[in-house]
A and B are shown apart, each in its own frame.
Chain A
Amino acid sequence: MSLATVVADSTAKYDIITPHITNGDHMEIPWILPPFFKEITLPHWEPVQLGPLALDLSPSKHVVFLLLGASLLILVMLLVASAHRRAAASGAAPKGASNAFEAMILYIRNEVILPNVGHHGEGFVPYLLTAFFFILTLNLLGLVPYGSTATGNISVTATLALLTFITVEIAGVRAQGWGYLNTIFYWNNELPMVMRPLLFVIMTPVEIIGKFTKPFALAIRLFANMTAGHIVLLAFMGLFFTFGLPLGVLPLGMALAINFLEILVAFLQAFIFTLLSSVFIGQIREAHH
Chain B
Amino acid sequence: MRTLLAAITLLTLTASPALAAAEGGKVNLLEPHAGLIFWTIVVFTVTLLILRKFAWGPILGAVQAREQALTDAMAAAERDRNEAAKLVAEQKAAIETARNEAQRYIAEGRATAESMRGEMLEQTRQQQAELLERARKEIEAEKVKAVEELRREAVDLALAGAGKLIGQKLDGDADRKLVEQYLASLGGK
Please give the residue numbers on chain A whose beta carbons come within 8 Å of chain B beta carbons, in ascending order.
Answer: 1, 13-15, 17-19, 21-23, 47, 53-58, 60, 62-63, 66-67, 70, 73-74, 77-78, 80-81, 84-85, 87-88, 91, 93, 101-102, 105-106, 109, 125-127, 129-131, 133-134, 153-156, 158-160, 163, 220-221, 224-225, 227-229, 231-232, 265
Contacts and interface: CB of A to CB of B under 8 A. Distances in A.
Top 3 A-B pairs, shortest CB-CB distance: A228-B6, A224-B6, A15-B22
A85 B59 CA distance: 8
Nearest to B47: A70
A130 B29 contact: no
Contact of B51 (A57, A73, A88): A73
B36 A153 contact: yes
Contacts of A131: 44
Interface in B13-42: 13, 18-20, 22-23, 27, 29-41
Give the secondary structure class of B's interface: helix
A130 B47 contact: yes
B44 A130 contact: yes
Interface stretch (B61-69, B117-125, B128-136, B142-150): B61-69
A19 B25 CA distance: 12
Contact of B59 (A22, A53, A102, A220): A102
Contact of B34 (A1, A53, A73, A84): A53
B36 A155 contact: yes
Given A220-B3, A225-B6, A228-B5, A93 B66 contact: yes
Contact of A126 (B3, B51, B58): B51
Contacts of A159: 36-37, 40-41, 44
Given A67-B43, A74-B47, A85-B58, A228 B9 contact: yes
Give the secondary structure class of A's interface: helix
A85 B9 contact: no
A22 B62 contact: no
Nearest to A12: B22
Contacts of B38: 55, 57
Given A22-B27, A125-B56, A63 B36 contact: yes
